[in-house]
Amino acid sequence: MNMITRRQALGLGSGVAAAIGLAACSSKPSPAPAAGASGAPGAAGPSGAPVSLPTGTIDETYQGHRIQITVGPGHHGMPMPTVKIDGNDLHLMPNADGSWVTVVNHYETFPDPISAARAAVRELQGADLVPFIAKEAKL
C-alpha cells in the first residue's frame, strides 16, 4: 500500500498555496506611477510610488531651531534632500511608499522631509541634534 507521508502532504500543500498566492499577485493590474510633489512627471521612487521632494531650498526656524533643506544628488544619482537642524545633519531615509523616516523618529513615517524635520525638532525637546555617523560595512 502506497501512503502519503505527513512531510509529503505538507510539501504539496505549501506548494499549492504558493502557486495560488503567485497567481493572485500577478493577476492584479499595476497602477500607473503618479507624479511626485514637485509635479515633474517621472518623479517616482523605485516602486513607482510618488516621492515628495521639496523644490528649491527651505530655510526656516521652527520652535527655536533652524531647519535647512536642500536637494542634491543622492545614492545612484537619484535626488535626495539634505536636512540640517541647527547646522547638524539629520539622517533622512525614504520608504518605498514615498514616505520618510529619520533616525530621531525611526518608527513614524512622514509625507515629506519638512514634516519629518519638524517632528524631529519636537522629539528633541530643545536638545541639540547629535550628528549621525554611519559605520561602513566590512566585507
The pLDDT, as a whole number, for residue 105 is: 85
Query: Which of these, 75, 70, 79, 68, lies nearest to 36 by C-alpha position?
Result: 79
| Per-residue pLDDT at 51 | 53
pLDDT value at residue 38: 38
Sites in the chain below the pLDDT cut of 50: 28-49
Supply 81's cell numbers: 534632500
Q: List the grid coordinates of 42.
A: 517621472
pLDDT for position 33: 40
Cα–Cα distance, 61 to 29 (Å, whole number)? 44
